[in-house]
């Protein structure tokens, strides 16, 4: 189900190819029912199932993964719809990821909801790179 900026062979679709993206994600949306059927065949009906480490990421490598909001939204909606259809709960990879760099758009739920216009502010870092945050008990004057 991988999408990549450059498309094939790094991914099954290019981020900008709407037709290929829809086709691939349509094929991949069967994952949740396949998951449910396999476990219920083994353990019986009525299982409470969840999928952990869920995100809107399209590729395991950030160098190749789609990072545009339209693709991330499509990935989110297609996975939520598939899981809902098979009664599989989803557990998001990370609610906040303020130091996640390029991974943040697809992996931080709070930041993605900001990009989609749901939340009023982004997933902001408490500190900036290079800021020194003294640990508890460190003298403020720098002496040890």
Please give the chain's pLDDT, 144 residues, in tens: 899 999 988 999 999 999 999 999 999 889 999 999 999 999 999 999 999 888 999 999 989 999 999 999 999 999 999 999 999 999 998 998 888 888 899 999 999 999 999 999 988 877 666 666 667 776 766 565
Residue 22, C-beta contacts closer than 8 angstroms, at least 6 positions apart:
74
Q: What's residue 132's pLDDT?
A: 64
Q: What's residue 84's pLDDT?
A: 95
Q: What's residue 107's pLDDT?
A: 92
Cα distances (Å, whole numbers) of residue 91 to 13, 52, 67, 109? 25, 5, 21, 10
Q: What's residue 118's pLDDT?
A: 95
Contact criterion met (CB below 8 Å) for 109 and 94: yes
Determine the Cα–Cα distance for residues 68 and 20; give it in Å rounded to an integer: 16
Q: What's residue 124's pLDDT?
A: 81
Residue 38, C-beta contacts closer than 8 angstroms, at least 6 positions apart:
none
């Amino acid at each position: 189900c991988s999408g990549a900026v450059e498309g094939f062979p790094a991914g099954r679709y290019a981020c900008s190819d709407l037709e290929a993206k829809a086709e691939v994600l349509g094929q991949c949306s069967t994952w949740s029912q396949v998951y449910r059927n396999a476990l219920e065949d083994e353990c019986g009906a009525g299982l409470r199932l969840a999928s952990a480490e869920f995100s809107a990421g399209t590729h395991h490598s950030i160098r190749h993964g789609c990072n545009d909001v339209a693709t991330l939204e499509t990935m989110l909606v297609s996975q939520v719809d598939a899981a809902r259809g098979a009664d599989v709960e989803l557990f998001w990879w990370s609610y906040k990821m303020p130091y996640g760099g390029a991974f943040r758009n697809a992996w931080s739920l709070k930041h993605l909801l900001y990009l989609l216009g749901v939340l009023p502010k982004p997933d902001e870092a408490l500190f900036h790179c290079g800021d020194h945050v003294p640990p508890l008990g460190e003298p403020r004057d720098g002496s040890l």
